[in-house]
Amino acid sequence: MLMDTSIFPIMDDVDSIFADDVELIRNADVLEEDYTPDEILCRDDVLQQYTSVFKPIYKGRPPQNAFLYGDTGVGKTAATKYLRENLERDIERKNEQLPENEQITLNVVWINCENFTTGDHKTSSYQVAVGIVNRLRDKGNRITGTGYAPQDVYDIMYEELDDLEGTVLVILDEVDKIGNDDTLLYELPRSRDIGYVENVRVGVIGISNDYTFRKNLSPKVKDSLCETEIKFPAYNATELSDILSARAKLALYEGAYTEETISLCSALAYQEASGSARRAIRLLRRSAEIAEENGSEQVEESHIRQADKDLEYGNIVESIVDQDDEKLYILKALAHLDKAGLTPARTRTIHAAYSRVVHSYNTTTGKDPLTQRGMFNHLSKLVMFGFVNTIDHNKGVGGGQWNEHEFSDDVNPQKVKDAFEDRNLEWLDVDVRGIKE
Ligand SMILES: Nc1ncnc2c1ncn2[C@@H]1O[C@H](COP(=O)(O)OP(=O)(O)OP(=O)(O)O)[C@@H](O)[C@H]1O
Ligand SMILES: [Mg+2]
C-alpha cells in the first residue's frame, strides 16, 4: 500500500508543546538565507556576463576584477556562490587531466564587509585588510583589529597573500560598508602591478546594493575594480514566481501550498520589496509556519497576509536599529512621550525629553545632549525617513506658526524598544511627566 506522503502529520506519542499537529515544511534548510540553490533561475544574461569574468581563471590566465551591483535580494550573493562552487569543482576536474606542473591553483577569500561594522566603528579598508589576514592565518596567529599602523596591516596582508600560489580571488561582499576610504579597493586589484605581490595573481570581486557608493567611487577604483561592471536588475512578479516555485518544491510537502500561494507571495514581494527574491522566500517560510501554528494543512491567503505583516514589523525595527545614537535617543524620547499621552509634541518638549534620555545614559556614554537646533536636524531626518510625522500649525499672520511631531503609523514605542534590544542597548525608564507646560 502506498502511503500518502504529501503531508506529514505528527502522530508520535511524545506530547510536546513544541510540536504542531501538522507539518508543512519538509526541508527548512532550503528556506534559509545561506542556502545555495542548485540552479540560478531567470538570470541567463547576467550569468553569462559573470561567467566570462571567471573564464580566465579556469584557463589559467590572469584573473579579472568585477563590480556587481543591484538592489537587495536580487541574487548577487547567490550567483557569486554558485559560480564559485562551479569554478572550484571544474578546476579540480581539469587538474585531474593535467600534469602537476600545469595544474591550476585557486584560492578564494570570501569576506562579508558587513561583519566588520560594530556599533559606531564603521568597517574600513583597514579592518577588511585585518579580516583578510585572519582568514589566511590559523587561529593562534590572528591579529587584532586595533593596534597596528594601517601600512603595517597592508604589508602583513600582502605578505600573507604572496605566500599563497597561483590565483587569489578576493570576494568582497557588501563592499559599500567599507566607507569612504577605498585604499584597499584601489590597491588590491593592482597589487601585482604596484609590486606588493610577486608570486600570486590577485582578482577582486566587489558586490554592492548601494548606488551612491558606486557613483562615489574614486576614478582610480572605477578604473581598477570596475574593470567589468555587472548590473543585477530587480525581478518582476513572474520571475519571482519561478524562483519561489522551485524553492517551494524542495521546502514544502506537496499539497501544503498551491499556485495561488506562490503568486500571492511573489506579488507582495514585488510590490513591497521592489522585486526581492529574499523577501518572497521569507514570506513563504513565515506563511508556512503560521499555517502550521494554526493546524492548517495548506497555506491560506490569511496566513500570507499575516506573514506579510510580521515581516513589515521586523523591517521597521531593523531600520530603526540602523539609525545613529542621536536618532535612537530622539525616538526613545518620543516613545516615552507617546506612552505618557504627550504626543504630538512641540520641538522644545521633545528636546526636554530627549535631554533626559541622553542624561540617563551619561554614565556609560559620557555624552551630553545636543542643542535644540542640533537635535532638530536629526529629528528632520527622522521625518524624512518616515519614522516621524510633522503636524504643521499655521495660525496665519499674527497667529504664530509651530510644528508638532508624533510617530508615523509605522512606528510605536514597542518597535523602538525592540530596536534597542537588537542593538544591545539597555532600555532605561525615563520619567517625562510634567515635561509639557
Ligand atoms: N535567480 C535566483 N534563483 C534562485 N534563487 C535566487 C535567485 N536570486 C535570488 N535567489 C535567492 O534569494 C535570496 C536572496 O538572494 P541574494 O542573497 O543573492 O541577494 P543579494 O542580491 O545578494 O542581496 P543583498 O544586496 O541584500 O545582499 C537567496 O536566498 C537566494 O538564494
Ligand atoms: Mg548579498
Cβ contacts of residue 33 below 8 Å, gap of 6+?
278
- Provide the β-strand partners of residue 170: 109, 204
Predicted confidence at residue 398, as pLDDT, reads 67
Instruction: Quote the pLDDT of residue 210.
Output: 83
Ligand 1 lined by 76 (C-beta under 6 Å): yes
> How remote is the CA of residue 256 from the centroid of ligand 1, in Å?
24
pLDDT per position as a tens digit, 42-67: 999 999 999 999 999 999 999 999 99
Question: 278 CB under 6 A from ligand 1?
Answer: yes
∠ Cα 166 171 147 (to 5°): 95
User: For ligand 1, atom 8, which residue shows the shortest CA distance?
Assistant: 75
Helices (H), 298-397: 301-321, 325-339, 347-360, 362-365, 372-384
The pocket of ion ligand 2, defined by CB under 5 A, consists of: 77
Residue among 74, 83, 249 to mutate when testing ligand 1 (max atoms within 8 A of CB) = 74
For residue 118, the model assigns a pLDDT of 53
Q: Which ligand is nearest to the CA of 69?
A: 1
Please indicate whether residue 37, judged by its CB atom, sits closer than 6 Å to ligand 1. yes
Contact 80 CB / ligand 1 (< 6 Å): no
CA-nearest residue for atom 17, ligand 1, is: 77
What atom in ligand 1 is closest to the CA of residue 246?
A: 4
What is the per-residue pLDDT for 299? Answer: 97
Q: What's the confidence (pLDDT) of residue 3?
A: 46
Full set of structural domains in the chain with CATH: 8-13+235-320 (1.10.8.60), 44-231 (3.40.50.300), 324-422 (1.10.10.10)
Q: Name the DSSP class of 116.
A: G
Tell the residue nearest (CA) to atom 9 of ligand 1.
75
| Residue 149: Cβ within 10 Å count | 9
pLDDT of residue 395: 66
Q: Per-block average pLDDT, block size 10, for the chain (437 residues)?
A: 50 69 92 91 96 97 95 94 96 96 96 72 82 92 84 95 96 89 92 95 94 87 92 96 97 96 96 90 96 95 95 86 91 96 94 96 89 94 88 72 88 93 90 80
Decide: 113 in ligand 1 pocket, CB within 6 A: no
User: Nearest CA to 127 among 136, 135, 117?
Assistant: 117
**pLDDT tens, residue by residue, 189-238:** 999 999 999 999 999 999 998 888 888 899 999 999 998 999 999 999 99
77 within ligand 1 shell (Cβ under 6 A)? yes
Residue nearest (by alpha carbon) to ligand 1 atom 6: 75
Residues belonging to the binding site for ATP are: 74-78, 235, 247
Nearest partner of 228 among 22, 69, 402, 435, judged by Cα: 69
Output the pLDDT for position 10.
Answer: 52
Q: Which ligand is nearest to the CA of 36?
A: 1
- Mutate which of 50, 77, 244 for ligand 1? The one with the most ligand atoms within 8 Å of its CB, which is 77
What pLDDT sits at residue 236? 95
Question: CA–CA separation, 266 vs 325, rounded Å?
Answer: 36
